[in-house]
Amino acid sequence: MGDFDSPSDAELVAAARAGNMEAFGYLADRHRDMVIALARRLLGTDDLVADVTQEATVAALVSMERLRSPRQFGAWYAGIALNVARRLLREVSAGPLPEEYPGVEPGPAEQAEAAEVARRVREAVEALAPGQRAAVLAFYWQGLTHAESALELGITVGAVKARLHQARGALAPQLASCIEQHKEVPAVSAAAESAWVDAEVIEVCRPDGPDDPLRRPHVIVLQERNGTRRVPIYAGSAEAIALACSLDAVEMPRPMTYQLAANLLAAAGSRLAEVRITRLVEGVFYAVAVVEALGGIVEVDARPSDALNLAVVCGTPVRVDAAVLSNPEVDRHPEWEQYSARLAELAAEERQRRSDILARLAREHERPAQREP
């Protein structure tokens, strides 16, 4: 075994995480007999044991970063195998296999094709953002339900569904040629149709009125580049004004919130790659900030107003799902077009407000201190 004569599980995990596949192979071999015994005990037959072992091993390989305690690799590996076995039991008990899967052994050509498909699937899953990859492994590889996946990952059921949706969209283009060979292609093709459209903030506005300007509705307007489709997003006054100031290059004496966030990303050796407006559900827009971190690509859930502010500060692209742009609900209430206070005016108001604050502070500083008699 070369350098791995008697290493601990924790040492092997560390080596495998660093990319040493020999270490992972030795680690899996060490616990494979236990996995086989557990799968055989649960399934009651050897027919599916090899499939369970292989699938559990692949799942363990591509999700090593999720292992919280490297010393507990054996128990973790066994848990994955048990979940895979339970899923297979549910599938078998649901009824006989369809005719597309005849009970004959595949020939050499079919085996080679299956191995190539498996390789491509593993590589595509490994390339997913960490959060998406974890959701895919929990739901598809381990066979957990949405609720069980949420409990395993420490997130909400809605977040699990959102990550799975994003993962399917990311996997479909890479695996399209594989998918076309199966009958389930219509369901996957819908995800494959998802496309990102470059967009930019073209306006920030609010209506005039006698009440406090900060209490009035503020709207951030996105428009596709080289196109006319627009996405008006209602936002809080603080976020809208901050965006107007960034777009109008209002100078700040100290780093404000979004500049601080950008500085922290840079200090951590990461960068904002892009911002995506991902969907519109019941009048609510959703967005993610795509961050290139030291450990890979990470998608961070965010309010669109916050994500757009950070994108403008960092100078990174903004993209909108084409389905959002085509959604008839996007601009059902175009009254924002009549709003009179526009980006330049909002920025000018903020400049004046900050100037007034600085002048007041200067006057208070110059005022002679009152002394007691």
The whole-angstrom separation of Cα 70 and Cα 53 is 20
Q: What is the pLDDT of residues 134-168, one digit of tens each?
A: 887 777 666 567 777 777 777 887 777 778 777 77
Q: Is the pLDDT of residue 246 over 60?
A: yes
Q: What is the pLDDT of residues 45-84, one digit of tens each?
A: 666 788 788 888 888 887 777 777 788 888 888 888 877 8
Higher pLDDT, 116 or 342: 342
Higher pLDDT, 6 or 182: 6
Instruction: Give the pLDDT score at 11.
Output: 87
Q: Is the pLDDT of residue 275 over 90?
A: yes
Longest dimension (CA), the chain: 106
Instruction: Give the pLDDT score at 189.
Output: 33
- Model-wide pTM > 0.75: no
Strands (DSSP E) found in the chain = 196-205, 218-224, 230-235, 271-281, 284-293, 296-302, 318-321
Under 8 Å between Cβ of 323 and 194: yes
Instruction: Give the pLDDT score at 83.
Output: 79
Q: Which domains does the chain have, with CATH numbers?
A: 9-95+112-192 (1.10.1740.10), 196-358 (3.10.690.10)
Taking each helix axis from N to C terminus, what angle separates 304-314 and 257-267, rounded to the nearest 10 degrees?
70
Instruction: Give the pLDDT score at 100.
Output: 30
**Any bridge partners for residue 230, and if so which?**
223
Q: Is the dihedral of CA 247, 250, 251, 252 positive or negative?
A: negative
Higher pLDDT, 354 or 99: 354
Under 8 Å between Cβ of 231 and 252: no
Average pLDDT, the chain: 76
Q: Is the pLDDT of residue 24 over 70?
A: yes
The whole-angstrom separation of Cα 20 and Cα 18 is 6
Q: What is the pLDDT of residues 222-232, one digit of tens each?
A: 999 888 899 99
Q: Is the dihedral of CA 221, 222, 225, 226 positive or negative?
A: negative
